[in-house]
Homo-oligomer: A and B are copies of this chain.
């Protein structure tokens, strides 16, 4: 389940327009037209990107009257961050162990 979630989260983050949307929403909720304003594409194209972001769980939205407001769901962001951070830390620990091993006085016998 987590595996499948990570597939969708990383795939959602693999596009610069979608990262721009996540970045904007990190500083607070925004309407679809506010999100579309800085993006060099049509509103339908922005809505497709939002659909991918919602599908991944990174973004949630609700419609009030005719206005849809989007916000970050931080859970998926944290999961992706943890996955990458844990692998990087694992790699560093492994490097430290190798360093400690190489620092040991070598036995010539």
Q: Interface residues, chain A, CB within 8 Å of chain B?
A: 3, 6-8, 10-11, 13-16, 19, 22-23, 25-28, 72, 74, 77-78, 80-81, 83-85, 87-88, 90-92, 94, 98
- Residue in chain B with minimal CB distance to A25: B91
* A8, A74, A87: residue with the most chain B Cβ atoms closer than 10 Å: A87
Supposing A10-B13, A11-B10, A11-B14 touch, asked if A72 and B84 sit within 8 A by C-beta, the answer is: no
Q: Chain B contacts of A28 at CB under 8 A?
A: 94, 98
The answer to whether B84 touches A81, judged by C-beta atoms less than 8 angstroms apart, is yes
- Residue in chain B with minimal CB distance to A73: B91
Within the complex, the shortest CB–CB distance from A21 to chain B, in Å, comes to 11
